[in-house]
Amino acid sequence: MLGDSTHDRWLRAQALFDERAYREAAVMLTELLDDPGEVVHELTDVRLLLARALFHSAQLDGAIRIATELLEHDPNEPYAHLLLGRSLQRKGRTDEAQPHLRLAELLGGYRS
């Protein structure tokens, strides 16, 4: 069984995501953001996986919030644009989604 180090919690959150336990992964990732320990420099990865987990568990408002935070720190992060665009799209906010979906394609080759 994994210990309780920050790295172990990150690995467990990734495993939960891979197992499609998106809600559980989101809880663990949120806890990691609240108490990042020694992985402060890797918070972009934590936020990206959290936004993905929130999106896949249909917690779209949370996915929008986290993807927006990511883009405030790195406006050229293509996957954050994709997650934001798709989350907005699923909420019926197509006009708001389009610029982000276009940027996701231009910056990272992601097609929606």
Report pLDDT for 1.
44
Among 106, 50, 43, 42, which residue's Cα sits nearest to residue 83?
A: 50
**Summary mean pLDDT of the chain:** 92
Residue 35 confidence class, pLDDT cut points 50, 70, 90: confident
Counting other chains too, the contacts that 85-89 makes at CB distance below 8 Å and 24 or more residues apart are: 85/112, 86/55, 86/112, 87/55, 87/60, 87/63, 88/64
For 66-101, what is each residue's pLDDT tens digit?
999 999 999 999 999 999 999 999 999 999 999 999
Whether the per-residue pLDDT at 112 is higher than 50: the answer is yes
Task: Please state, in angstroms and rounded to a whole number, the distance separating the CA atoms of residues 13 and 29.
Answer: 6
Whether the per-residue pLDDT at 55 is higher than 80: the answer is yes
For residue 111, which phi and psi values (nearest 5 degrees)?
-105, 140
Cβ pair 86, 55 in contact under 8 A: yes
Enter the DSSP assignment of 26. H
Following DSSP, what letter does each residue of 63-76 receive, concatenated?
HHHHHHHHHHH-TT
- Neighbour count for residue 81 (Cβ, 10 Å): 27
- Domain segments of the chain: what residues? 6-80
- Check whether domain 6-80 has CATH 1.25.40.10, yes or no: yes
